[in-house]
Structure 1
Amino acid sequence: MKAFLSLGVVISLSLASSALAFDKSAFFDAALCKPPYTTTSATEMYNEAEKLAKADTSLLTAAVYKLSADFGKQGFKTNELIFAGSSIGVLIEGLRADELAKTYHLKSDNLGSLLGAASKSYARALVKADQPTREMGGVSIVARESAAFPGKTLLACEFVTHEDLEAVKKLQAN
């Protein structure tokens, strides 16, 4: 699982000392790409998830960590963290993509509907100053409803290479 973290993901950690417990709300912040990410911080976030729960990898393309308590914010409940590719996110309880889009200023991206990947898909690219690897690709905050997560909505900080984005656009054109 560590290989997919090579590009990093936006996260925040609340580790003042080894005596203090990890602040699980940092996982929610990570899904919102806060603060701007680094490979080091993404690896630290992954390592914290590994300490807190065993990953469910039954989805094959993602690792889902179910934590013991809700760590959601702003009325969005979650106790599940997800790492997929070079993305980190949370699974929000309920089908709430429209509400997440409104709250976090996301726009329909028309990318999630490709091959039935999502019934609703919203995104907002980070501003240029917060894009860590502009030459390689872009980072966006996304919200998606998908049959892959019944009764839940993915909220994630997602890195997509320029090549992958072009391939998706070509598939959509056909």
Structure 2
Amino acid sequence: MMTSATAAFRAMTRALPGGLAALAAVVIAHPALAATQEPEHAAPDFFDAALCKPPYTFASAQALYEAAEKVAKPDMSKLGAAIYDLPGPIGKDGFASNQVVFANSTVGVLVQGAVATELAARYQLAPETSNLLGASSKGYARALPKDQQSMPDMGVVSIIARESPGLPGKTLLACEFASNEDIQALKRFEAESKP
């Protein structure tokens, strides 16, 4: 029995020159070649998103959030973040995760282990000068180059790796947008808090 997709494919290939039609038919019909095709609705690469690939925008964050919503319901009990358990592990460069995190203007993954220093070494992150008012016990960051800053008049997009007492045994690796106002407010508050 011919499916509508098969019928549409056959109609399209009839319009192609002979050699191209034959090649297209072989690629679609051959199981090994068909398996290499991208699925129509592939899940986003959350690990790449945590590495700001592509650089953070509100639209890209919304698309990632909507994809995570299709996978699971969030745990909202930790640090005001929405944490989604993925159906399987993801990883890159020897680091593993099974959780995606959305918090304010941050998209990231919770990497297994207290590995902020190792992440910093791998992704060329520098030590942060702030502990975010005690929320971070160890933190590293690197602002994206100017040509990758999607909203330079509004703030700074950075790759961050942070360990926190609130997330024992895990490290947040994320693409973070910090508004200019938030950056200045944090600096003021920390300066006023010093004895």
What's the TM-score bracket when you normalise by the shorter of the two chains?
A: 0.7 to 0.9
Relative to its length, the structure with more strand (as a share) is 2
Q: Residue 42 of structure 1: CA displacement?
A: 1.9
Look up the match of 1:63. 82
Q: TM (normalized to structure 2)?
A: 0.75
- Partner of 1:172, secondary structure, is helix
- 8 Å contact kept, 2:116–2:163: yes
- Partner of 1:132, secondary structure, is coil
Look up the match of 2:99. 80
Look up the match of 2:124. 105
1:41 aligns with 2:60: yes
In structure 2, what residue type is equivalent to 1:49? Answer: A
In structure 2, what residue type is equivalent to 1:124? Answer: R
Percent of aligned pairs with the same residue? 54
1:167 aligned residue (156, 180, 185):
185
Largest Rg, 1 or 2: 2
Gaps of 5+ in 2: 1-37
Aligned length: 156
CA displacement, residues 66-121 of structure 1 (integer Å, 9 cap, x when unaligned) = 1121101111110000000011000000100000000000001122x132111101
Higher relative contact order (CA 8 A, sep 6+): 1
Q: Residue 60 of structure 1: CA displacement?
A: 5.7
- 8 Å contact kept, 2:114–2:169: yes
Q: Residue 39 of structure 1: CA displacement?
A: 2.8
1:167 and 1:38 map into 2 onto residues whose CA distance is: 22
CA displacement, residues 105-141 of structure 1 (integer Å, 9 cap, x when unaligned) = 0001122x13211110100000011001111101000
Gaps of 5+ in 1: 1-15
Q: TM (normalized to structure 1)?
A: 0.84
